[in-house]
Structure 1
Amino acid sequence: MSSSNASSETTRRNLLKGLVATSAALAAVPVFAGKEHVHHNHHQANNYKELIRISNECAQHGDECIDHCIELFKTGDVSLARCAETVNEMIVMCRALAKMATYDSPQVKAVAKICRDVCQTCADECGKHADTHSNCKACEQSCLECIKEINKLV
């Protein structure tokens, strides 16, 4: 094996390890959270219902995009590596924003501003692949919708 092939294999291996570790960590969160909270009507007055819905939807599209990236990585195609990195960041921020908005945190606007920047970076990266990967297109569109909703708030 030549040195460049070994280096490429190491890079792919490290990328896969990182994505698997990140995915495992994100998947484990509900396990540690315990039983699902029984929902009551005490959140009915929440002013962030649409923001919560859109940011959760954005994270869901991100999960689907990551699944697609991982399948490509398994074949040795790492062309979406940067895309996967930005999507992972977006998923974390959108879920954090949705949680904080659910609890009507006084920090929602501050988190929303950061989330908007992260979503823009993700949309820019996914947009590069939107013509050839439907998951990237869906993720890009969700990020743009999330940005639009955040702009109504901040």
Structure 2
Amino acid sequence: METAVRGMLNTYPADLGGVDADAMARCIEECIACAQACTACADACLSEGMVGDLTKCIRTDMDCADICTATAAVLSRHTGYDANITRAIVAACQIACQACADECERHAGVHEHCRLCAEACRTCAQACAELQDRLG
């Protein structure tokens, strides 16, 4: 099944600069999914009774969501492609996702939203790592 992301990549009128389109699409899709999970997790944390205990989790969620959103946007643009910028933002996204997954995992036994967020972050970090391997 072709997703909207894959469809857009397939219709791009120029060459993607030798970047693996499947790895690129998966990374964009996982960044979008992770940004949503992190945003929802931060919001859910704000609704918890002991919100003060979740301050670092909320901050990490929000940072990760912003970085994932920016990464998806940069990866979606190919005109004037700059491999150095692409490598840097994908690496930053992988680091943010790993940090967020680790933080959410600390609360996963108590808060289901943190468990689900950690899972989304780990999946996104893996997609970023796979794309990094293909960027060279």
Give me the TM-score of the superposition, normalised by structure 2.
Answer: 0.76
Hey, which bits of structure 1, 4+ residues long, moved more than 3 A?
none
Q: Alpha-carbon deviations, 1:10-50, whole Å to 9, x = none? A: xxxxxxxxxxxxxxxxxxxxxxxxxxxxx9x6632562111
Is 1:62–2:38 an aligned residue pair?
Answer: yes
Q: Alpha-carbon deviations, 1:69-124, whole Å to 9, x = none? A: 1112xx45311111001111100100011001111342222101011111111111
Which of 84, 93, 98 matches 1:120?
A: 98
Structure 2, gaps ≥5 residues long: none
Structure 1, gaps ≥5 residues long: 1-38
Aligned mates of 1:42, 1:87 — CA distance in 2: 28
Aligned mates of 1:76, 1:144 — CA distance in 2: 25
Secondary structure of the 2:52 match is coil
Aligned position for 2:77: 103
Which of 117, 122, 126 matches 1:144?
A: 122
Contact 2:9-2:25 within 8 A present in 1 as well: no
Aligned mates of 2:36, 2:96 — CA distance in 1: 15
If asked which structure has higher relative contact order (CA below 8 Å, sep 6+), I would say: 2
Aligned position for 1:94: 68
Aligned position for 2:47: 71
- Aligned residue identity for 1:90: C
Aligned mates of 2:130, 2:101 — CA distance in 1: 18
- Aligned residue identity for 1:97: T
- Aligned residue identity for 1:88: M
Percent identity over the alignment is 27
| Structure with larger Rg | 1
**Aligned pairs, number:** 113
Aligned mates of 1:108, 1:58 — CA distance in 2: 18
Aligned mates of 2:26, 2:91 — CA distance in 1: 16
